[in-house]
Amino acid sequence: MWLYFLKIFWLFFPAGFANMAPVLFKWVPFSTPIDFNKKIKGKPIFGPHKTYRGFIFGFLAAVAFIYLQRALAPSMPNVVMIDYKSINIWLLGFLFGFGALFGDLVSSFFKRRLDIAPGKSWVPLDQIDWILGALIFSAFYIKVDWLMAVTAIFLSFIFHPLFNYVAYILRIKKNKF
């Protein structure tokens, strides 16, 4: 069972890394908001913190991690669930990265409608929005069965807060969760 958890974690880590990338690369000065600061009924569509920089670096982070996975795959045959030699790392990186960030974007849209401040947690959606997006988009390219999806969602409830807390300790994020 633990090996299966490790396999799912390894498979979907590029999506998680893509989800972390906007925070890790916030020092890059290109910060044009995705919604161009437009509003719906006086409320931001997504908010100024959802930027093209985040999407670009999220996609690149996912591709970079898949490239690393491809290099490490021969030494980790018990953990690998896909054939990294036959996949297009740019396509899978895009699907994981875009999916994770799109899921987060949808969550932000609804948070703005409910007047939940950017960065404030909205349980359980903040913990699973990125993995839901990654699952949906990656399923167009790789086989994702229901057990994989449920396990990935379960693991996101564990790792999302853990990674956020580590980022808080490292002063990368302002909020713990």
Q: How many CB atoms lie within 10 A of CB 49?
A: 16
Q: pLDDT at residue 177 above 70?
A: no
Is the per-residue pLDDT at 175 higher than 90? no
Q: Residue 174 above 80 pLDDT? A: no
Average pLDDT estimate for 161-165: 75
| pLDDT for res 176 | 66
The per-residue pLDDT of the chain, averaged, comes to 91
Q: Which of 129, 140, 127 is nearest to 103 (CA)?
A: 129
Can you list the pairs that 156-159 forms with residues at least 24 positions away whose Cβ atoms lie under 8 Å? 156/16, 156/127, 156/128, 156/130, 156/131, 157/124, 157/127, 157/128, 159/9, 159/16
Question: What are the residue boundaries of the structural domains of the chain, listed by start?
Answer: 2-169
Per-residue pLDDT tens over the stretch 50-109: 999 999 999 999 999 999 999 999 999 999 999 999 999 999 999 999 999 999 999 999
Q: Where are the alpha helices (DSSP H) in the chain?
A: 2-24, 52-72, 89-113, 125-138, 146-169
- CA-nearest of 134, 3, 107, 133 to 50 is 107
Of 136 and 26, the structure prediction assigns the larger pLDDT to 136
- How buried is residue 50: exposed, middle or buried, by Cβ count under 10 Å (0-12/13-18/19+)? buried
- Residue 5 in this model has a pLDDT that exceeds 90: yes
